[in-house]
Structures are given as structure tokens and as C-alpha cells.
Amino acid sequence: QKEVEQNSGPLSVPEGAIASLNCTYSDRGSQSFFWYRQYSGKSPELIMFIYSNGDKEDGRFTAQLNKASQYVSLLIRDSQPSDSATYLCAVKRNSGGYQKVTFGTGTKLQVIP
């Protein structure tokens, strides 16, 4: 079982719709969770992070965390063609005084005009 799993996609949504991206993780000791957006040929860009169970909203983005079920999701409301990118989920846990970070392989999102 992979430590962090994401559906590779592509996930296709029409412009204006809600895109829902999911990520599951295996380590129950995981403490912090991040979503990065990566455009083709570019480096990952941090868009959201969440530490506690529940929802966290920032503009059109909402991160949702459920530690009991070991999943974290990212909702993108009013999806735009410029949101078309690969979205990487990253999970951190404390390991011997330092933070171990594991990335998922990403979900490719395509927003269709």
C-alpha cells in the first residue's frame, strides 16, 4: 500500500463546476496535510494546508480533512481553465524530531471551457 494515494486522473470537469480531488494516506500518525498545484513544466506551488479535522476555506479552494478515515480532499469551486494542472497531496508526520514528508503522485485536472 502506498503511503499517500491519489487517483492519477485525468479528472475532467466543465468550467464553472466543482472539482473534487481526493487523497488517502496510510500513516495514522500524520499531522499536517498540504495541497500543491503543478502546471506542466513548472514547480509545485503551495495552495492549501490543513492541520485539524474539518474544512478550511481560502477563496475558491476548500481543504477537507478526516483523520479517522485517513483522507484529505481539495474542492475547487467555480473551476476555471486556468485551474487545469496536476494537484499533489503531501502528508507530514513527526519522526524522531524531524518532519517526514511524503507526496502523492498527483491528480491531473482538466477544466473544459
Partner 1 sequence: KAGVTQTPRYLIKTRGQQVTLSCSPISGHRSVSWYQQTPGQGLQFLFEYFSETQRNKGNFPGRFSGRQFSNSRSEMNVSTLELGDSALYLCASSLDGFQPQHFGDGTRLSIL
Backbone angles phi, psi at 42, to 5 degrees: -115, 175
**103 scored as a contact of partner 1 (CB under 8 A):** yes
Quote the Cα angle for 94-32-108, to 5°.
Answer: 125
Q: Which stretch binds partner 1 (CB under 8 A): 20-28, 31-39, 53-61, 76-84?
A: 31-39
User: Quick check: 50 and 2 in contact, CB under 8 A?
Assistant: no
| Contact by Cβ (8 Å): 108, 56 | no
Examine residue 98 and tell whether it contacts partner 1 (CB under 8 A): yes
Contact with partner 1 (CB under 8 A) among 10, 42, 52, 81: 42
Amino acid at 85: A
Q: Give me the least distance between CB of 83 and partner 1, in Å please.
A: 19
Residue nearer to partner 1 on the CB measure, 53 or 95: 95
Distance CA 113, CA 50 (A): 30
99 is a contact residue toward partner 1 (CB under 8 A): yes
* Interface residue list for partner 1 (CB under 8 A): 32, 34, 36, 42-46, 49, 88, 95, 97-106
